[in-house]
Structure 1
Amino acid sequence: MDDLTKEFLAESQEGLDRMERCLTELESRPEDAGALVGEIFRAVHTIKGTTGFLGFERLEKLAHAGEHLLGSLREGKLAVTSELISGLLRLMDGLRAILKLIEDTGGEGTRAGDDDSELIAELTKLNGADPAKVEEEAPRHELSVVGEAHMEAAVAKHAAAPSATSSAGSNDKTLRIDVDVLNRMMNLVGELVLTRNQMLQSGMEAANFPELARRLDSVTADLRETVMQARMQPVGNLFGKFPRMVRDLARTCGRDVRIEFSGQETGLDKSLLEAIKDPLTHAVRNAVDHGIEAPADRVLAGKPAEGLLRLRAFHESGSVVIEVADDGAGISMEKVLKKAMERGLVSEEQAQSMSEREALQLIFLPGFSTAAAVTTVSGRGVGMDVVRANVEKVGGSVELESKVGVGTTLKLRVPLTLAIVPALVVRSGGQSFALPQTALVELVYVPRREAETAVEKIGAAEVYRLRERLLPMVWLGRLLGLEMNAREESHGFYLAVLEAEGCRYGLVVDDLLAPEEIVVKPLSAVLREIGLFSGATVLGNGTLALILDIAATAARAGVKPVEERVDETETGEVKAHAENEMQFLIFEDRARERTAVPLNVVERIESVPLAQVEYAGGRALLQYRGELLPLTDEGNVLAELETEGPGNDVLATVLICGGVGTASKTRMGMVVRRVLDVSAGAVLDKDDAMGGMELAIVKEKLTTIHRDFDARSAAWQEVA
């Protein structure tokens, strides 16, 4: 197959994807027919026009029939009806099947005496013309037996699942990249080559070698970010495949379902986008079939006859979360436990001791299904176990929340990329391990003098009281059977507070090393059987480190998810304040004033030697991980520290800000006197009498909120 045909196939598949989205929107919003019909017409017209010189006569004839029908619709001669939309969807399936056939065989390979005359006749009838005349004028083509087999297989595939695989083949293997991104990548490669040549000529003993090393680090970081940017695709590309599927499934199941999207612009690595396609498809199918009730049942329950399915994507703590939420009947814990006992998945004693959250996890067991009968859509017990297995395979996790009569929400949490992830390197028993920073909540150092009083015991379990909350402790060395380090006995221990799949616990380690951006490598079969590691990496010092699976470690140690219990009498008050509450990092600022920043904008807390703070144009700057970091110092902390004596012995506390709460991509550093706490607080309404100052109540104390990161970043960029 020549390059021109490959490009034609990729562009045609993209056009049909747009056509599918526009057709489902057209059925729900016929008042916007003008723009939507124009987009659909262009997709079909482009296919027809290109096939003329490529010689695909069958594809051209079918596209011509569709173009004629769409022309009448565009001119207002036809009204938008469900029958018309169904006919146009069948046209799209027919075009897609022929494109797939061309990709597989290099030709149209149609069946003898049948060149889509039935579909063309249907389209002609929808257009108000006489199908018999079209049949008389239609030329016949000799068709191959091989083509017949491929075409029948393609038609059967689309009949079984008309929209689950709407854009298979070459379109999944191609990636459109902005020319500006390619130009930037080329420039950075040029800088990389130049820096390499300078380092080779200078040698390690040269005076400018440290400067060249910093330059190499900066260029490498920029190149990595640019490559990741090139691989990022909007989640909307995946969401666009579901309106058609929901439409067809709703009709099959006798449902009336409306689908809504938010966060389509959220970026995700292309390979991960492909990896979660099947899990997300399973989740959507379950929501339509199991979650949303029949219209009559919804009306009896006081709900609108039309069910609502929401797909939402957003960034959270360095990961992408995709939510599939329905307003259906929810999942009954009693029904789940009954089915689980019938299938022998749990015993009656186990069922009686299970919490609601634990009972919901049974849905992910292989062979589990609550369907009353096996249908073409569901009931065979294959689905949710596949969802969890496929998501965990790419380093993600699945969370399920449900309330009877209200609905069910399934959250798929996946990393931004598989190749390179930020991690904290820890040591235990003389060996190094990597903890993904997406699961790291905070770090706590417990000195030896406090260890005896800080660690409490509940039965055989050890817990640590962190801000009036009991935290289960997991000793990594004991869990892995490693020899304990003598340093632990004399210097206390470090506690890495981790959270995954609703489990929050403290992992006790001997020592902390510098955080690194690690390259994830797959595990061998022997290490995979251990079940505690998700991958391996080679650290900057050349040593090997295993990447800990946070959720598997919690399960192996017996840590259970914590269920938040709220008194029913306080439910209304909790709901009233929920929107105003958020997590804050509290620190001392100017004049020892308590100040807070939203926790989601703080990437790290660094103790920086005062000698590393540099000045340019009266501004304090810090070279941080290959980039120039502007520092804000509203409390004049740097001036106070300089009186203690410059040098590496005096440390400044810097908050590295630039998380999901800021729109700017530029990081900032905030110099503070000292960090006080991490706690939830209630944001107060702004009062003009306070000059527009934003305040919060944190632990019953008035606290100023610091938020103007984007304005400061923009000002810094203008000056730079």
Structure 2
Amino acid sequence: MDMNQYLSMFIDESNDHLQSLNEKMMELEANPEDLSIVQVIFRSAHTLKGMAATMGYEDLASLTHQMENVLDLVRNSKLRMQDFIFDTLFKSLDALESMVENITGGGDGKADVSTIVASLQAIVRGDIPTAGGTSTNDTVSAAAVNATNAPILLDEFQFSVLEQSLQEGHKVMYVEVTIRKDCQLKAVRSYMVFDLLERSGEVVKSFPSVQDIEQEKFDQSFSLYYITQKEAEEIQSMVLNLSEIEKVNAVALDSESLQQLGQETTAATLEAPVQEVPTVSPTQAAPVQSKDEAAKPAVRSGTNSAPSRTIRVDIERLDVLMNLFSELLIDRVRLEQLASEVHNQDLTETVEHMSRVSADLQNIVMKLRMVPVDTVFNRFPRMVRDLAKSLDKKVDLIVTGAETELDRTVIDEIGDPLVHLLRNAVDHGVESIADRIAAGKPETGTINLRAFHSGNHVFIEIEEDGAGISRDKVLKSALKKGVVTSEQAVNMTDSEVYQLLFAPGFSTAAVISDISGRGVGLDVVKSKISSLGGHVTIYSTLGKGTNFSVQLPLTLSIIAAMLIRLGCEKFAIPLSSIVETGIVKQSQIRTIHGNKMLEFRNTHIPLVSLSRIFSIPDYDESNEEETEIVVVRKGERLIALAVQDFIGQNEIVIKNLGKYLPEIQGISGATILGDGQVALIIDPNAFIK
């Protein structure tokens, strides 16, 4: 059967399951006693294992299987979650993600995960290192019995045989044998182990069954119950003398542990029909959510029994749809213009109806491109958790507004800047535990990651309750690095000082670490956000914390714009940047230090002549008594652009200038108007810079 046709589905659903596993593991770490979360994690891992096995990715399925063994003990209350177990499971998830990435890139999904597997098997055996470095395997428990693939369920007869053997003075052992990975004939090697053991005792029960072992239907290890007169160390030594045997673990059971085992295996037998989860094919796979999860506002997928009403659509198809609609929008504007010139009632009515339908179509197409920021936010809790642990800090990340939607173009680009800002918040913002206690704060720092709509923009804020930004420290570092002069530093406002953090190469870190201190990061953040048509603002209070506020446009493909005329040329200015329009007289224009300034709302702002910047030959506003102006904003800064005439507002389709034209300062793209003319789109940010 050709599985390539299911590959893209497998990759998509594997990524969904891995993300779900990461999120649920974070929840479990916060509530380690909540077994309902463990059930969700177990089912998701089980589904992923089934999908991987179906597709033939044995390494991925095998590692997930080892994770299942640990989770099975936890969900059956035979093992308590500890830091070492959490760390090992998170490492397992990282390894699984690497395998899926390898498969996505055309690889075979293989990886060396022997260290992680050994840790998982040690957890199942009960060899869990404690804070003092000792092992918790002081007594033989169910963890030792469930050491390999699954609990070996004994029937009443087998249990009574083992119990009677103990009473008669025989030794009852639980033996786990691991065969080397490079072994070519596992079944033969297993037969040799059984043959050797049966010379000195009796094998009562094995897992997998003897038939499965003979047909090589097992991983690298198998386990069994064994009655003998020999000591555990002697049995281990005997089996290890066989070639291609990697490891042997023999545990002697006493009557008490056997009695405990009997109760647990009986309970497991009774519960098995309820807990059994069938192997799910890639087309059936779907994570199961708990009631608590379903109650949350930002749920990734519903848990209703109703069939799914969503489909996966290739991004390229959406791009083609958007381009086709863009052409339709241009033709619609042209038709409206022609209808207004012809004055034909029937044509006018038809065009008006077409305009209404195309407006509805536009809304649908735009919404198809909108993606919840949850797709970016969902990887941050895990990142913050690992980073805080490496810095020996306690940090809570609170995410709100994850359902807020952004254009896919923005979503694809915004991830890296937010990673830099969050790392900066954990490293520089939140203080160490000792410093927080000394300052009278809770030892756990809080970082709020928020997203919300405001007008035609989306705001993403990262706010922490750390030490805040020291103005003096920033200025001192800026002066030392030559970013500003001492004369400039005297008159700088707090917001201007904070903006120095975005200067290339700027850093206030005293020590360079693998996390920060090299002066690379915040300058990348600013340049990336600016390229998306947004900007970032810093608000900080010393001793209380800092807020990085990122403002982004809702969409980058179709925007509302003000069309203007300069001589024979037409230009478009995005409405989102315009504060207001107006008319000024020449007498109101001042010249200060050679620059034209204009009084605007009790302040003076620069007046920029677009005709001079773009060398428009047939227009010069200085020859007119009155000049139309457009006041535009970038952050807190304002400038006025001098124009000749206002044509009106319109929705325009942004077209890239491509490689045919060099990058032009002040121009962000072009659009095609209804009459077929090309109008350049002005980038107000470039003038304010």
**TM-score scaled by structure 2?**
0.66
Equivalences for residues 424-435 of structure 1 within 5 A = 424-435=562-573
Report the CA distance between 1:471 and its aligned residue: 4.7
Distance 1:500 1:486, change over 3 A: closer
1:658-691 alpha-carbon deviations (Å, 9 max, x no partner):
xxxxxxxxxxxxxxxxxxxxxxxxxxxxxxxxxx
The match for 2:425 among 287, 293, 298 is 287
Aligned partner letter, 2:78: K
1:535 aligns with 2:537: no
Describe how 1:116-265 pairs up with structure 2 within 5 A.
Answer: 117-125=117-125, 128-129=143-144, 136-137=177-178, 140=181, 179=310, 208-265=346-403
**Cα distance in 2 for residues equivalent to 1:110 and 1:517:** 52
State yes or no: 1:496 paired with 2:630: yes
Q: Which structure 2 residues correspond to residues 450-529 of structure 1 after superposition, within 5 A?
A: 452=587, 454-455=588-589, 462-466=596-600, 468=602, 470-482=604-616, 485=619, 492-523=626-657, 529=663
Residue 271 of structure 1 pairs with residue 312 of structure 2:
no
Structure-1 residue corresponding to 2:46: 45
Cα displacement (A) at 1:386: 0.8
Matches within 5 A, 1:330-479: 330-446=468-584, 452=587, 454-455=588-589, 462-466=596-600, 468=602, 470-479=604-613
Q: Distance in 2 between matches of 1:75 and 1:133?
A: 16
The DSSP-based 3-state class of the residue aligned with 1:276 is helix
Cα separation, partners in 2 of 1:226 and 1:352, compared to 1, 3 Å: same
The structural deviation recorded for 1:502 is 1.5
1:100 aligns with 101
Contact 1:58 1:115 in 2 (8 A): no
Structure 2 CA distance for partners of 1:103 and 1:505, relative to 1, 3 Å: closer
User: Relative to 1, partners in 2 of residues 1:528 and 1:399: Cα closer, same or farther, differing over 3 Å?
Assistant: farther
Match of 2:24 among 15, 22, 25: 22
Letter of the aligned partner of 1:548 in structure 2? I
Alpha carbons of structure 1 residues 43 and 179: separation in structure 2 relative to 1, 3 Å: closer
In structure 1, the partner of 2:682 is: 548
Amino acid of the residue matched to residue 208 of structure 1? D
* Kept in 1: contact 2:621–2:642 (CA 8 A): no
| Contact 2:69 2:148 (8 Å CA) reproduced | no
Structure 1 distance, partners of 2:463, 2:441, is: 16
Q: Retained in 2: the 8 A contact 1:87–1:122?
A: no
Report if the CA contact (8 A) 1:181-1:230 is conserved: no
The DSSP-based 3-state class of the residue aligned with 2:559 is strand
Q: Which fold has the larger relative contact order, with Cα–Cα distance below 8 Å and residues 6 or more apart in sequence?
A: 2
Match of residue 264 from structure 2:
none
Do 1:291 and 1:330's aligned partners in 2 also have CA atoms closer than 8 Å? yes
Assess if the C-alpha contact under 8 Å between 2:505 and 2:520 holds in 1.
yes
Residue deviations 1:48-102 (CA, integer Å, cap 9, x gap): 1223332222222221221222223223333343333222212211222222233
2:457 touches 2:551 (CA, 8 Å); kept in 1? yes
Give the deviation of 1:348 after TM superposition: 3.2
Shift of residue 430 of structure 1?
4.0
Whether the 8 Å CA contact 2:124–2:148 is kept in 1: the answer is: no
Specify the SS of the correspondent of 2:143: coil
Q: Which amino acid aligns with 1:136?
A: V
* Displacement after TM superposition at 1:466 (Å): 4.7
Contact 2:59–2:110 (Cα < 8 Å) also in 1: no
Counterparts of 1:280-319 in structure 2 under 5 Å?
280-319=418-457
Aligned residue identity for 2:553: P
User: 2-side partners of 1:396 and 1:284: how far apart?
Assistant: 18
1:423 and 1:434 in contact (8 A); partners too: yes
Do the aligned residues in 2 keep the contact of 1:440 with 1:496 (CA within 8 Å)? yes
Q: Kindly tell me: are residues 306 and 550 of structure 1, through their superposed partners in 2, closer, same or farther at Cα, counting changes over 3 Å?
A: same
Query: For the structure 1 residues 375 and 181, does the alpha-carbon distance in structure 2 shift closer, same or farther, using more than 3 Å as the test?
Result: closer
SS in 2 for 1:309: strand
Instruction: Provide the C-alpha distance between the structure 2 equivalents of 1:87 and 1:423, rounded to a whole number of angstroms.
Output: 54
Distance 1:517 1:178 in 2: 32
CA contact under 8 A between 1:66 and 1:123: conserved in structure 2?
no
Deviation readout 1:149-178 (Å, 9 max, x if unpaired): xxxxxxxxxxxxxxxxxxxxxxxxxx9996
Give structure 1 stretches of 5+ with no counterpart: 144-174, 556-720
Closer/same/farther in 2, CA of residues 532 and 270 from structure 1, 3 Å limit? same
Deviation at 1:284, TM superposition (A): 0.4
Unaligned segments of structure 2, at least 5 residues: 129-141, 150-175, 185-299, 302-307
1:14 is displaced (CA, Å) by: 0.8
Summarize the Cα distance change of 1:306–1:110 in structure 2 as closer, same or farther, 3 Å threshold: closer
Q: Provide the rounded CA distance (Å) in 1 between the counterparts of 2:123 and 2:97.
A: 16
Deviation at 1:529, TM superposition (A): 4.8
C-alpha distance after superposition, 1:459-503 (max 9, x if no partner)? 655554555555543333344454574688557232322211221
Identity of aligned residues (%): 36
Separation of aligned partners in 1, 2:415 and 2:119? 30
Structure 1: distance between partners of 2:321 and 2:567: 45
Residue 680 of structure 2 aligns with an amino acid whose one-letter code is: L
- Distance (Å, rounded) in 2 between the aligned partners of 1:511 and 1:309: 48
Q: Distance in 2 between matches of 1:526 and 1:5?
A: 38
CA positional deviation for 1:214: 2.8
Shift in alpha-carbon separation, 1:24–1:114, aligned structure 2, 3 A: closer
Give the direction of change, closer, same or farther, for the CA distance of 1:68–1:295 in structure 2 (3 Å limit): same
Aligned position for 1:69: 70
**Whole-Å Cα distance in 2 between the matches of residues 108 and 283 of structure 1?**
32
Distance 1:207 1:317, change over 3 A: closer
Q: Is the CA contact 1:331–1:408 (under 8 Å) kept in the aligned structure 2?
A: yes
Question: Residue 323 of structure 1: CA displacement?
Answer: 0.8
Instruction: Name the Cα RMSD after superposition.
Output: 3.7
- In structure 2, relative to structure 1, the CA distance for the partners of 1:276 and 1:207 (3 Å cut) is same
CA contact (8 A) 1:243 1:259 kept: yes
SS at match of 1:308: strand
CA deviation map 1:95-140 (0-9, x unaligned): 22222233334423345x9596324424524693379767724673
CA distance in 2, matches of 1:60, 1:498: 57
3-state DSSP class of the match of 2:484? coil
Alignment of 1:549-698 (within 5 A): 549-555=683-689
Contact 1:527 1:533 in 2 (8 A): no
- Which residue of 2 is the match for residue 109 of structure 1? 110
Q: 1:515 to 1:139 in 2, by over 3 A?
A: farther
Structure 1 residues 459 and 107: alpha-carbon distance in aligned structure 2, compared to 1, 3 A threshold: closer
1:321 is paired with a residue of what secondary structure? strand
SS at match of 1:214: helix
TM-score (norm 1): 0.64
Q: What is the CA-CA distance between 1:542 and the residue it aligns to?
A: 2.3
- CA 1:549–1:265 in structure 2 vs 1: closer, same or farther (change >3 Å)? same
The reply on whether 1:8 has 2:10 as its aligned counterpart is yes
Mapped partners of 2:97, 2:486: distance in 1: 51
